[in-house]
Chains A and B, each alone.
Chain A
Amino acid sequence: MKAAQFEHHEPTTVEEAVSLIESLDEPTILAGGQSLVPMMRFRLARPETVVDLNGIDELDYLQEADGYLKLGALARHADVEESSLIDRQYGSFADTAPLVADPQIRNRGTVVGSIAQSDPKGDWGTVLLAHEGEVVAHGPGGERTIPADEFFLLPYDNTLAEDELITEVRVPTSGDDEGSAYHKLKRKVGDYAMAGSAARVVLDGGRITDATVALTAVDITNVSVPDAADHLEGERPSGDLFKQAGELAAEHANPESDEHGSAEYKRNMVRVLTQRALADATERASNDGPAARYGTDQMAVGD
């Protein structure tokens, strides 16, 4: 089907975008369009005005600054996939990027757009939660930051106000003693997750001083698992410990049976994926080098 008629606006600065969004009647923001364009074609979305961010060059960045890894609203999945900074320091981002959709969609789709989409099956929300990141929003009243764990409300719903746009998502910079990983189970290459788990650990003197676990596609939003984090903190990493944390994540998960698998199966996979993500995160925390060298090569699976 054709999308309904709409007026296309192309601001070139954030300021211009903010004032357009304020002045227009219920505008919709267009970033990569890899979720919005199909929704408009199915008329699940029928905006009368569209504010296209693609001309705002100041939003096209992926960089470390002021103690954060910052991704501007135009950082594409492919930019994350190709970044050597990501490969060296942010294992969970390096794992996730090539597992999102397919190469063409990764060339256009943005990380921020995924987070704004707030699909519980989306991968980036889980990574943002695992890194205890923040969403930076701009509206008529100026800028505000929303912690990841206060952002997601319901499937496709979040705490962003109608007249706000997200300019950036950011996570605290990852030190040499931190490691992270993301493991995703999908039916076939390019599919959304049946279940996914992100883990992040910080090691000091052989003990885990900080940890987080977050999950994809097993609840009404991406969720973090505080029980698993509490269980890990202060302990020495071991297979047994990761198994217990995996079991806590499985208990926390709330999956639904569907044509791809039963709730029981998905719950069990949450345990397995969490154990694997914790093992990879720990290996990366103890070694310096590209993410691909330490941890599991998930791209090789299924060949």
Chain B
Amino acid sequence: MAEKDITLTVNGTDHELRVESRKLLVHAIREDLDLTGTHIGCDTGNCGACTVYKDGEAVKSCLLFAVQADGSEITTVEGMEDQPEAGMGNSDLHPIQEGFHEMHGLQCGYCTPGMIMAGKALLEENDDPTEHEIRENISGNLCRCTGYQNIVKSIEYAADVLNDREPPESPVEHEGASMETAPDGGVETDGGCTGPDLTREYPGGDQE
């Protein structure tokens, strides 16, 4: 009785769904469409982990019933690699995704899909935002891990790519980075502090 047939266009694909009116959009995306990149981090609308890009703007998909999204076009983090900007940087990824990878914009990664979608909404409106504008635009997205610094840098990296500027080099050890890195991924300082030696052997570490 309290069910409805709806159509959602998610990442370019039309989906016809029968949903209870009370089903949240985030649950339709995760459970019915099996797109679990969109996360749920709270019950209150505070955390932003569920942010998706709907009809040209960022919304929290836990604050919307799926029936309210009938007929709308939605992009989730899974669709980022198919956006026209994907591949503009040094990989097949969308420049925002590449930014998070290169600039160490995530630790546990829980907030990342929401951060990426909030970042997309910002860059769609303004592809060269100031640091202040970036911070303003991710103010509805909480991160417990990073302290936000590298998230801001990740979105700045994407803006560099979109504006044909050379993005900064990744601080993280990987192919192509010229910086000398210590075994823990940090940079060696004059004091010779290299952080823990991750190659050392641990007692019982050779057990198969």
Contact = CB atoms under 8 A, between A and B. Distances in A.
Interface of A: 1-8, 30, 33-34, 37-38, 40-42, 50, 52, 54, 78, 98, 101-105, 107-108, 189-190, 299-300, 303
Nearest to B50: A104
Nearest to A5: B2
B34 to A, nearest CB: 19
Interface stretch (B60-68, B156-164, B185-193, B199-207): B60-68
B166 interface: no
Contacts of B67: 8
A41 B45 CA distance: 11
Contacts of A105: 45, 60, 63, 140
A273 B92 CA distance: 51
A166 B136 CA distance: 31
Interface string B31-62: 00000000000011110100100000111101
Interface in B1-28: 1-2, 4, 20-24
B123 interface: no
A103 B137 contact: yes
Contacts of A104: 48, 51, 58-60, 63, 118, 140
Contact of A107 (B22, B57, B65): B57
Given A1-B43, A303-B135, A33 B64 contact: yes
B55 to A, nearest CB: 10
B144 interface: no
A103 B44 contact: no
Interface in B54-101: 57-60, 62-65, 67-68
A189 B137 CA distance: 11
Contacts of A78: 57
Contacts of A98: 136
A103 B2 contact: no
A241 B81 CA distance: 60
B139 interface: yes
Given A8-B2, A102-B139, A108 B63 contact: yes
Q: Which of A52, A102, A189 has the most CB of B within 10 A?
A: A102
B121 interface: yes
Size category of the B interface is 20 to 34
B45 A6 contact: no
B132 A303 contact: yes
A98 B140 CA distance: 12
Contacts of A7: 1-2, 21
Contacts of A190: 46, 139-140
Given A7-B2, A8-B2, A37-B65, A103 B22 contact: no
Q: Which of A6, A98, A107, A189 has the most CB of B within 10 A?
A: A107
Secondary structure of the A contact surface, majority rule: mixed
Contacts of B59: 104, 107-108
Nearest to A101: B140
B2 A6 contact: yes
Q: Which 8 pairs from chain A and chain B are nearest by CB?
A: A102-B140, A8-B21, A3-B22, A189-B139, A104-B140, A107-B57, A5-B2, A104-B60
Contacts of B65: 3, 8, 33, 37
Contacts of B45: 34, 37-38, 105
Contacts of B141: 102
B45 to A, nearest CB: 6
Contact of A108 (B23, B64, B139): B64
Contacts of B139: 102-103, 189-190
Nearest to A303: B132
B76 to A, nearest CB: 14
Interface in B135-186: 135-137, 139-141
Q: Which of A5, A41, A52, A104 has the most CB of B within 10 A?
A: A104
A48 to B, nearest CB: 9
